[in-house]
Amino acid sequence: MSTFENHDYKWRETYFVLFDSARRPMLEQVKRRLLKINPRFELSNGEADEAGHIDSLSLRSPQDYAAMDISYVSGEEVSDQVDELQRDMKGNVDATDRPKLAQLSQCDAKFDILHFEQVSNDEEEDDGEMLDPSALLGVMDALIELTKGVGVDPQSGSLM
């Protein structure tokens, strides 16, 4: 079940980790790494290809009032996104992000990380102040490390 189907959560944003498909990690490797970050993460719906490489995984972090759906994507969609990112960011990157921007040309796969906020049933109590981004940042760091990839925050247009 996707977190989109869970009425206790509301989608907030989507982040990306772009990487070379040859570095696609195994599902069990991702699970171990995420639980090392936070043993209280609740992992579910893990799917892998025939070789055991991650296809998708859902994660809940109740203490952060957050959940995430992670899904693997490859092919033309990724190539188009890389081309667009490179065009959009070419003149707007500082010296520290230039190597990451150059690395994008090697990327033919990505993880979509859909970030959800846990919402209450009482609309008056749901002011958006409970969501803690630390779980998202930890997941991004883990996936970047596992894939040697480049994280992208499309809302701010920044590379991680």
Q: What CATH number belongs to 3-159?
A: 3.30.310
Spatial distance between the Cα atoms of 67 and 11, rounded to a whole number of angstroms: 9
pTM: 0.90
Question: Which residue is it, tokens 């759906």?
Answer: 69
Spatial distance between the Cα atoms of 23 and 81, rounded to a whole number of angstroms: 19
Letter for the amino acid at 160? M
Letter for the amino acid at 47? E
Q: What is the pLDDT of residue 137?
A: 95
Q: Which sign, positive or negative, has the C-alpha torsion 59, 44, 26, 75?
A: negative
Q: How many residues does the chain have?
A: 160
The string of pLDDT tens digits covering residues 94-135 is 888 889 999 999 999 999 999 999 997 665 444 555 778 899
Structure tokens at 10: 């509301």
Residues 6 or more apart whose Cβ sits within 8 Å of residue 97 = 89, 158, 159
- Domain borders along the chain are 3-159
Question: Which residue is it, tokens 């699970």?
Answer: 31
The string of pLDDT tens digits covering residues 19-73 is 999 999 999 999 999 999 999 999 999 999 999 999 999 999 999 999 999 999 9
